[in-house]
Amino acid sequence: MHVIITQLSLKSRLREDAGDTHMLLGEEAPHRNGTFKKSCATLRPTSPRALQANKSGRKTQMHRCVAVLLRRYVLHQNHVPESSGTQNSSRSRVWSGVPAHERGGLSARGECNPDIRMLGCSVVAPRCDDGRVLKPCRSTCEDVRRRCAHAFDEISMAWPYFLDCDRFFVSDEEGCYNPLEGLRGQLHAEGHNNSMDLVLSEDPSTRMQFSYQSYTQMTKILKRTEERCAHIAQTYSIGQSSDGRDLLVIEFSNNPGQHELLEPEMKYVANMHGDEATGRQLLIYLAQYLCSEYLMGNERIQALINSTHIHILPSLNPDGYEAAVAGQQDSRYSDDQDHSAAGNTGRNNAQNIDLNRNFPDLTSIAYRRRRNKRYRTDHIPIPDFYWFGKVAPETYAVMKWIRSIPFVLSANFHSGDLVVSYPYDLSRHPLEHNLFSPTPDDKVFKFISKIYSMSHERMSNENAECGSSRTGSKEGTINGAQWSSFSGGMQDFNYLHTNCFEVTVSLGCDKFPSKEDLFDIWHENAEALLAFIEAAHRGIKGLVTDEEGNAIKGARISVKGIRHDITTAENGDYWRLLTPGIHIVSAFAPGFSRAVKKVHLPPNMHTAGRVDFTLQRASAGSQTPEEDDSLPSMGTYERFDPYNQYQRYSPRETDLTQSREERVEMPWWWGYFMMPGGPPPTWLLKQQ
Ligand SMILES: [Zn+2]
């Protein structure tokens, strides 16, 4: 019984509440088919160390049920740092993102949560007075049930058996107490209570583990996360590494696997350099965090997932990572203090290709064109000669990926400094390797880069940079070419070939920090990771249709003063990241006349402004200026790329299908209550 109380992490509150009354515990958990057998025992003060020790305490199925039920639907948080014994209360800010009292629980209807939690505690940890167990009032139970039953109904879950109002509660006449009195007021006064952070999670693969995970472990975590959040998450592979490892992505959306009209798609990519391990871990945690918080009713996360497609690729270079891990172990056994030799082990892929130099160099093409009066810096075709060179399978997989999904925004995580860099990475002068080389969207890139750096705990601090970016950076951001020029990078390719705006986030100088640092690094980045996803909703979005309302695919959206067009996706929808201010926006498609609109974006706008265009067919024979030869036409764009037949990857064709189908009949929470080797939790199902 002691175990349950510590798992619920409510002992301190209950003890305080009990005041002079001894806080006493029943001997057994409430039994589904029976009643309580209670005796009174004093609750010992519990230290963090004792809490840790209790992790390994006796766990019956009943214990687990109570703890899980309360944690999942009643409590708000379930992340436990490995070093929870040294938990720092100041950290709770980032865990939550949104204060607990602002979040919902079941179906995001938070109003019944505090009561049901306290009610549950009054049963599993009843109050005692003079060695006599006090019983909670039936009327209180019935009242809570009236207000909360709908939430259980919505998810087809039975009302918790231990809150059976007839069995575990007594009437006023029998002498009962209202367990909610006092506790409720205390909860409101406290707001977000840190003690709730210490709730345990039994399944290690659903819990954030602040250590490094092998490729196999990472895959297991991502698939387990997908199972837990089957309604909002889906894993898929964009291809295979040179050594045949799947490049596994997990996508979060209220409709994963399908593009939804006007919902932006964004992506996070890490571990492109196999020896830069921080980003890989952060993205694994992010996936677990998004899943858990969504399930537990974090309204910010729910809103984000319901309105955005978030694609997370934790490791673009899994072969390099495995080599880097081996390198780390070797260097640990050597006496050599200089680890620089081992420092780059695993940076490249298994073919020894640096993936961030392996993309087509479209930047040089853009520079060559800039003297052309009507040049544009978008949708530049891949030149034929690129395919004569060595194209890594990882690079190819990414190119295919980013052409098959209409991504709007992206970040690529590296290490070696603490800064966000933005395109161009290639200097506009071949002999100047630290020359500021802006894109036409320089304002937008600075804007989105700052969203990350300013939301990071220390990236934007003066002198926070630890590498060579220091001289040129501003508020934790720097132009890539000004930092250090190179060609064939991924972010330049994203910008010049697709509609996607990508930046590169350097997460710290240590490429492979010790696992003890991972907890802090997650905290430093958690808010920035969320804020950057939200940035996919900056600017404008809309539909381009003809006069009959038919979607126009491939229409160009131009912004006056920015020589970089965005094109509409399959369904005629587009997204155009823009900074606040006034913009003249126009839409054009071959065979139609141009439509122009003036747009005013206020400074604190957090959802994209909706700007639709209806294009009129141009009269026969009229020559529009857009048909100038210097503009890359979509026809050319397709022709130059030998790999233009893309289909959105369908993970339902993989071996995951079977386990998915087995779950179809069960509610979405089913997998969460499954214990390895244990009986299926049919007793949780609502009787139809
Ligand atoms: Zn790197």
Helix pair 215-228, 278-295: axis angle to 10 deg: 20
Domain assignment present for 208? no
83 within some domain: yes
Model pLDDT, residue 89: 32
Amino acid at 290: L
Domain finish residue from 618, 646, 677: 618
Residue 261 sits in a domain whose CATH number is 3.40.630.10
Residues 47 and 147 in one domain: yes
Taking CA atoms, 671 is separated from 175, 478, 564, in Å, by: 41, 45, 46
Cα of 566 vs centre of ligand 1, distance in Å, is: 28
Same domain for 291 and 413, yes or no, is yes
Whether residue 467 is contained in a domain is answered as yes
Ligand 1 mean position, distance from CA 513 (Å): 14
| pLDDT tens-digit readout, 49-95 | 333 333 333 233 333 334 444 444 433 333 333 333 333 333 222 22
* Percentage of the residues of the chain whose pLDDT score is greater than 90: 49
| Helices and strands (H and E) in the chain: how many | 22, 18
> Which of 168, 202, 236 represents a domain boundary (last residue)?
202
Q: Which of 4, 126, 158 is nearest to 68 (CA)?
A: 4
pLDDT at 556: 96
pLDDT band per the 50, 70, 90 thresholds, residue 343: low
List the structure tokens of 65.
């049920």
Residue 376's pLDDT band (cuts 50, 70, 90)? confident
- For residue 168, the model assigns a pLDDT of 82
pLDDT for 621 equals: 57
Q: Are residues 196 and 324 in the same domain?
A: no
pLDDT of residue 677: 67
**Nearest 5°: CA angle at 535, between 107 and 525?**
80
355 and 396 belong to one structural domain: yes
Calculate Rg over the CA atoms of the chain: 28
In this prediction, residue 30 carries a pLDDT of 39
**Is residue 95 in some structural domain?**
yes
pLDDT at 588 over 80: yes
**Claim to verify: residue 176 and residue 194 sit in the same structural domain:** yes
Q: What is the pLDDT of residue 530?
A: 97
Q: Is residue 446 part of a domain?
A: yes
E strand map for 262-398: 265-270, 309-313
Q: Strand 417-422 to strand 477-479: parallel, antiparallel, or no bridges (unpaired)? A: parallel
**Given a cut of 70, is residue 167 above it in pLDDT?**
yes
CA 321 to centroid of ligand 1, rounded, Å: 12
Structure tokens at 357: 């130099």
Question: What does each C-alpha distance from 284 to 218, 287, 459, 655 come to in angstroms?
Answer: 7, 5, 21, 21
Confidence of residue 654 (pLDDT cuts 50, 70, 90): very low
For ligand 1, the distance from its centroid to the CA atom of residue 204, given in whole angstroms, is 30
CATH of the domain at 554: 2.60.40.1120
d(Cα 491, Cα 470) in Å, to the nearest integer? Answer: 21
Tens of pLDDT along 388-411? 889 999 999 999 999 999 999 999
Q: Count structural domains, the chain.
A: 3
Is-contact 312 359, C-beta < 8 A?
no
Q: Residue 328's pLDDT is what? A: 76
The answer on 613 and 506 residing in a single domain is: no
Tell me: do 153 and 58 sit in the same domain.
yes
| 506 C-alpha to ligand 1 centroid (Å) | 8
Say whether both 167 and 232 belong to one domain.
Answer: no
Domain boundary (202, 230, 264) is at 202
The CB density around residue 508, as the number of other CB atoms within 10 Å, is: 25
Question: Any residues with CB less than 8 A from the CB of 685 and at least 6 apart, and which?
Answer: 156, 157, 158, 667
From the list 288, 378, 437, 311, the residue with the least C-alpha distance to 563 is: 378
Q: pLDDT tens digit string along 182-221?
A: 655 554 554 433 333 333 333 555 678 899 999 999 999 9
Please give the pLDDT value at position 119. 79
- Say if 652 falls within a structural domain: no
Distance between Cα 20 and ligand 1 center (Å): 60
423-446 pLDDT, tens digit per residue, is 999 999 989 999 999 999 999 999
Q: Is the pLDDT of residue 462 over 50?
A: yes
Q: Is residue 559 part of a domain?
A: yes
Ranges assigned E (strand) in 492-559? 501-508, 540-546, 556-559
Residue 129 pLDDT: 76
Tell me the residue ranges of DSSP E strands in 241-357.
Answer: 246-252, 265-270, 309-313
Q: Is residue 155 scored above 80 in pLDDT?
A: no
Please indicate, yes or no, whether residues 167 and 230 belong to a single structural domain of this protein.
no
CA of 413 relative to ligand 1 center, distance in Å: 7
Strands (E), 398-512: 407-414, 417-422, 477-479, 501-508
The average pLDDT across 588-595 equals 95
How many angstroms separate the alpha carbon of residue 273 from the centre of ligand 1?
Answer: 5
Tell me, yes or no, whether 143 and 168 share the same domain.
yes
* Whether residues 229 and 241 fall in one domain: yes
Residue 216 CA to ligand 1 center (angstroms) comes to: 22
> From ligand 1's centre to the CA of 298, what distance in Å?
33
- 123-137, 177-191, 270-284, range with the lowest pLDDT: 177-191
Q: Which of 8-22, 260-274, 370-384 has the highest mean pLDDT?
A: 260-274
Cα 73 to ligand 1 centroid, rounded to whole Å: 41
Least confident of 35-39, 177-181, 280-284, 314-318: 35-39
Q: Alpha-carbon distance 522 to 65, whole Å?
A: 30
Q: How remote is the CA of residue 532 from the centroid of ligand 1, in Å?
A: 20
* Residues 406-425 pLDDT 10s: 999 999 999 999 999 999 99
Q: Is residue 393 one of the residues assigned to a domain?
A: yes
- Backbone CA torsion sign across 108, 110, 116, 121: positive
Mapped onto helix, strand or coil, the DSSP state of residue 409 is: strand
Which region among 333-347, 353-367, 383-397, 433-447 has the lowest average model confidence (pLDDT)?
Answer: 333-347
Alpha-carbon gap, residue 445 to 647, rounded angstroms? 29
CA of 505 to the centre of ligand 1 (A): 9
pLDDT band at 263 (very low <50, low <70, confident <90, very high): very high
pLDDT digits (tens, 9 = 90+) for 319-328: 999 999 988 7
DSSP state of 34: S
If asked whether residues 274 and 360 sit together in one domain, one would say yes
Residue 574: give the domain boundaries: 540-618
- pLDDT at 579 > cutoff 50: yes
Per-residue pLDDT band for 465 (boundaries 50, 70, 90) equals low
